[in-house]
Amino acid sequence: MCGITSYCGDRKASEVIEVSLKRLDYRGYDSVGVAVSSESGLDVRKGIGGIDEIDEELGLGNMEGGVGIGHTRWATHGKVSEENAHPHISCDGRFAIVHNGIIENWDNLKEELDGCSFRSGTDSEVIAHYIERKARESGVEDAVREFMAEAEGSFAVVLLDSEKDMLFAFKKGSPLALGIGEEEVFVGSDAYAFCTYTDKAIFLCDHEYAVLKNGEYVLRDAEGRTLERKIKRINYDYTQDVDSRSDHYMYKEIMEIPEAIERLDGSLKLEQKHRLEEFQNKLKNKDRVVLTGSGTSYHAALLGIYFLQEVGVEAHATVASEFKNYGRIDENTVLVPISQSGETKDVLEAIDYCRKMGAEIASITNVPHSTVERKSDANIRIRAGQEICVAATKTFTNQLYLLMKLAEGLGGTKLGKNISDTIRRLLDSNEEKIKDLAVEIEGKKDIYIIGKGETYPVAMEIALKLKEISYIHAEGMMGGELKHGTLALVEEGTPVISLIPNGSSEIVSNVREVEARKGNTIKISPSCGRFNIPETGTKGFVFLSTVLGFLLTYWIASNKGLPIDKPRNLAKCVTTK
């Protein structure tokens, strides 16, 4: 879940790392640290908080030296503290490491390191001491290979050897990329970390390591054999500017939804047309399709079931974290993993499981060149651009748009023209109404959202946003299930948001059940309620109700003064179990 970055070259390493850490901030913001190899040895600066806060306090970009490592942490093993912040240093002060992942047998490794002084409560620190101890016996490179062979779990590690001004980057199960420049090499958890400096990248595979010195690199396998790897050209849509009407990326990214949909639609007609056709052929030629994802992407998978079953495709959805317990997979199955980052650990494990069972993999991702994409037989990028806020907004709507287009190509009902323009008008004509509603319900402890059919996953998605951004207990459910338990929690004034795409009598009946208990019924519908919603059919309504739900969540959180882009305890990319 953490973000790691490194540099080896003629530039001032700390300045490069400072920029890269700001790009990786979405991966974790519990603590930040940098280590640079200087003439006097290791210069290490780290502290609790996000990059901007720690940078202002410690001057992370003001460290001399051309070789360094950086880290932004999302705490998994060990509390949030300065001692647990990376980089971690060996006892002799020669080595520093940054790590993303979990070393599952760290306690066993620690027991073998008698005499080492551990300063933190993390699993990561054992790496620095292990390398120090083994390097005395067989040299640093051999020590790296021994660690890779002995360590259990997942890891992406960059080791800084301050004595030799060298870096060693190695991985298993967690992502790691090299950026290749002119007499300089960058390392990052993903290519966003260094895409300002170079558009050339190499993505390390498991059990591989890179040796970096004097701005050059050598790539080797677990046996120490030199590898030749083709350099890939990368092209990322990236921006750090927030919307002038707001101080938050979430607001900016909601407002970008129409543009993101148009960008995806254009790519499906041009450069990704062959990918779309290949994807559709795989769906047609298999007996069953299983969609999987985590969080927001799982909600997209649930909607994908409706779109695909409409055209006669046997489609199922299983949440990635429980995939092995519920997924029935064989060679007549195509797995459709959906992931914004393409690095979600649970999704990657579902892919590996399905591969063993003989299934084909056709994935939907946003971040180019991700691990999910590279493990797939077919892939389509949703082209939403970088999403900095932890909450997925434009990536979710682009996932839905792509799933609808896949179904359309197989004979499904068309979405209709100009959904992006319809969303723009929706935002313009309803934002003040949303602001008023946010003031009305921001103090509530519980909010319920009910839907039916395609709007049930939307209800779940809106509830997720209310929980993660507004810190309100929210529950999205099928309207018909309201009376089976949850209605007991509805009392006078309890907000219940109902998603009514076409005056559905069943949902209307559920609304009346709420009204009979004096709950506060809030209708999102083209046929009733307080909002100006055009009639677009159920598929169009899925987009419109989703966008209004996102905007409501934003304004509630904004009114409460919450850290909208970086909610507590959460991170954008989940690379641990």
Q: Would you please indicate which residues are annotated as catalytic (active-site) residues?
A: 2, 572
Task: Name the residue among 74, 83, 67 with its Cα closest to residue 51.
Answer: 74
Q: What is the DSSP string of 499-519?
A: E-SS--HHHHHHHHHHHHTT-
Three-state DSSP state, 483: coil
Task: Name the residue among 74, 63, 51 with its Cα closest to residue 96.
Answer: 63
Q: What contacts 322, CB < 8 A, 6 or more positions away?
A: none
Is residue 38 a contact partner of residue 18, using CB atoms and an 8 Å limit? no
Q: What are phi and psi of 398, to 5 degrees?
A: -70, -35
Task: Name the residue among 361, 342, 365, 341 with its Cα closest to residue 351.
Answer: 361
Is residue 279 a contact partner of residue 407, using CB atoms and an 8 Å limit? no
Say how far apart CA 360 and CA 235 lie, in whole Å.
27
Q: What contacts 391, CB < 8 A, 6 or more positions away?
A: 250, 296, 465, 468, 469, 550, 553, 564, 567
Where do the DSSP E strands lie in 264-366?
288-293, 315-319, 333-339, 360-365
Task: Count CB neighbours of 405 within 10 A.
Answer: 22
- Tell me the CA distances in angstroms from 525 to 438, 456, 503, one per residue in order: 18, 14, 8
